[in-house]
Amino acid sequence: MSRENYAVFSTAKIGNLDLKNRLIRSATCEYKMAEDGSVTEIVLDIYRKLANGGVGMIITGLMAVTQGGKGVSGQACIDDDRFITQIAKIAEAVHDQDNNCAVIAQLCHSGRQLTHENTTADCVGPTAMPSPLLEKKARELSGDEVETIITAFVNGIIRAEKAGFDGAQLHGAHGYLLSSFLSPYTNQRRDCFGGSTQNRVQIIKAIVERARKAVGDFPILIKVNCDDHVVGGITKASFPELISELSATGVDAIEISGGIWDCLVRSEEELGFVPVPIPESRTQLDKPEKQSYYYSYVNKLNPSVPLILVGGNRNIEALETIIQEQKVDFISMSRPLIAEPGLPERWLQSVGSDKANCVSCNACLLYKDAFGCALKRLKFNRKEFEAGYAGGWKAVFK
Ligand SMILES: Cc1cc2nc3c(=O)[nH]c(=O)nc-3n(C[C@H](O)[C@H](O)[C@H](O)COP(=O)(O)O)c2cc1C
Ligand code: SF4
């Protein structure tokens, strides 16, 4: 039985963009761009498979808006016009496979969470906040530097449009630079970019307002944390106010995620989940109640823009209930689509299990040089996977 009458497979809009269904690929860095910033065949193949797999919209892996903001090697850059022809190949690859599949460029500056091996760039943030985890203490950005960062994001949005993307997403989650401005934990500035929630959102407002002058109603989305999982950060209680302020910035949709790296020094008891790198990608989601782990955060929200829910979305019947409840408009997924780029189509056609094949083990995060799903290489044979796991995951990636 086809699920074509399911709410999950109904059409919807983000800004002026028509989406064929409610399933989105959440941003997933494949770490496979060439060091000179050119797009590799491996990257294009990932996007072709996703576009063929039935998802309504694909958000790319993060693209750095400045060279200093590049977090890891193999990440895409969007800080210079010379990269437009390269990233355009991603947009083209998606549209060539399915013109009804939208593709959005995710724009990022790593801020205080900089790990790129080759960079001498400073870790920067709104405030010089010490970290229990990070080696380098972030340097506080001057007012002029904040203006430069705003311009870099605006230019990134303009380049995304020129490259043929259907929109851009600001990465305002997971502790990276924009996230650190939104969080009261990392942002203790006393100028117009710090203090009240309204001031902490000011950097987003400035980016969107300035970008709109150049790109008009080109869709601009944002991914944010509903909980930083650190003391003094964004919490479930403060999130509704953040959403109201963000809705007023002119963004076209808000994707809800959570966690910053500093939370990893906390215990499972304090966090309510097992602290594994990276905290937004939780493990051990075997029980339904552990899945869609940020859904309980959307209860008291009254946004004027569509909401996208990410994190542990694993079962089509549960996702259908979520969409029917109308508290969020879209579901996004990362790891399930690493394991099965064709998952939306499989679910639509009711082939196999209602569950995604991904078991949320995070092996795909550990072995970046062999990007892909460990379990898939073993044809989803869990027994063999667990044996490989016992012998060290490297064996699985041979
Ligand atoms: C390999 C990998 C790369 C990721 N890269 C990004 C990224 O570039 N930008 C981002 O916002 N989130 C990134 N994430 C986080 C995911 O988008 C998502 O928020 C998280 O994995 C939870 O969703 P899931 O349970 O569907 O995987 C990445 C996750 C994984 C596993
Ligand atoms: S390696 Fe693990 S977490 Fe990653 S896609 Fe495969 S099953 Fe999912």
Question: What is the overall mean pLDDT for the chain?
Answer: 93
63 and 119 within one domain:
yes
What are the pLDDT digits (tens) for 104-117? 999 999 999 987 56
Distance (Å) from CA 233 to ligand 1 centroid: 21
What are the pLDDT digits (tens) for 187-228? 999 999 999 999 999 999 999 999 999 999 999 999 999 999
The yes-or-no verdict on residue 396 having pLDDT over 60 is no
390 and 285 within one domain:
no
Question: What tokens does 346 get?
Answer: 């499989």
- CA pair distance 28, 341, nearest whole angstrom: 12
Distance (Å) from CA 28 to ligand 1 centroid: 5
Q: Which residue's alpha carbon is nearest to atom 30 within ligand 1?
A: 28
Note whether residue 215 is domain-resident: yes
Which ligand is the nearest neighbour of the Cα of 356? 2
Q: What is the model's pLDDT at position 120?
A: 67
Average pLDDT, integer, range 243-269:
97
Q: What is the model's pLDDT at position 366?
A: 74
Which ligand is the nearest neighbour of the Cα of 389? 2
Note whether residue 196 is domain-resident: yes
Q: What is the model's pLDDT at position 352?
A: 96
138 and 257 within one domain:
yes
Q: What is the model's pLDDT at position 358?
A: 94
Bond preceding residue 58 cis, omega within 30 of 0: no
Bond preceding residue 331 cis, omega within 30 of 0: no
What are the pLDDT digits (tens) for 266-306? 999 999 999 988 899 999 898 999 999 999 999 989 899 99
pLDDT tier, 398 (very low <50, low <70, confident <90, very high otherwise): very low
- CA pair distance 103, 133, nearest whole angstrom: 34
Note whether residue 255 is domain-resident: yes
Q: What is the model's pLDDT at position 119?
A: 59
Note whether residue 134 is domain-resident: yes
Average pLDDT, integer, range 178-188:
98
389 and 279 within one domain:
no
Average pLDDT, integer, range 82-109:
98
Note whether residue 259 is domain-resident: yes
Q: Which residue's alpha carbon is nearest to atom 12 within ligand 1?
A: 27
283 and 209 within one domain:
yes
Nearest one of 142, 145, 134 to 109, comparing CA atoms:
145
Q: 158 or 137: whose pLDDT is higher?
A: 158
Note whether residue 282 is domain-resident: yes
* Top mutation candidate among 225, 280, 316 for ligand 1, by most atoms within 8 Å of CB: 280
- CA pair distance 301, 154, nearest whole angstrom: 28
Question: What tokens does 22 get?
Answer: 């409610």
35 and 147 within one domain:
yes
Q: CATH number of the domain that 216 lies in?
A: 3.20.20.70
193 and 305 within one domain:
yes
352 and 247 within one domain:
yes
Q: 343 in ligand 2 pocket by Cβ < 6 Å?
A: no
209 and 63 within one domain:
yes
User: What is the identity of the amino acid at 309?
Assistant: L
Question: What tokens does 345 get?
Answer: 């189509």
Q: Which residue's alpha carbon is nearest to atom 18 within ligand 1?
A: 334
Note whether residue 1 is domain-resident: no
- What's the total number of domains in the chain? 2
pLDDT tier, 372 (very low <50, low <70, confident <90, very high otherwise): confident
332 and 392 within one domain:
no
In whole angstroms, how far apart are CA 192 and each of 109, 148, 228? 20, 16, 22
Q: What is the model's pLDDT at position 397?
A: 47
Q: What is the model's pLDDT at position 385?
A: 64
Distance (Å) from CA 188 to ligand 1 centroid: 27
Q: What is the model's pLDDT at position 72?
A: 80
Q: Which residue's alpha carbon is nearest to atom 21 within ligand 1?
A: 281
Distance (Å) from CA 164 to ligand 2 centroid: 30
Cβ–Cβ under 8 Å, residues 207 and 145: no
Active site residue 47: no
Q: 138 or 102: whose pLDDT is higher?
A: 102
Q: What is the model's pLDDT at position 368?
A: 63
Q: Which residue's alpha carbon is nearest to atom 9 within ligand 1?
A: 27
Pocket of ligand 1 (CB under 6 A): 26-29, 61-62, 106, 171, 173, 223, 257, 280-281, 310-313, 333-336, 364-365
What domain range is 174 assigned to? Answer: 7-360
336 and 197 within one domain:
yes
83 and 223 within one domain:
yes
Which ligand is the nearest neighbour of the Cα of 71? 1
Cβ atoms within 10 Å of 143's Cβ, excluding its own: 10
Tell me which of 176, 293, 294, 297 is the catalytic residue. 176
Nearest-5° Cα angle at 114, 130 to 145: 80
Percentage of the chain modeled with pLDDT above 90: 80
Note whether residue 2 is domain-resident: no
Q: What is the model's pLDDT at position 96?
A: 98
pLDDT tier, 254 (very low <50, low <70, confident <90, very high otherwise): very high
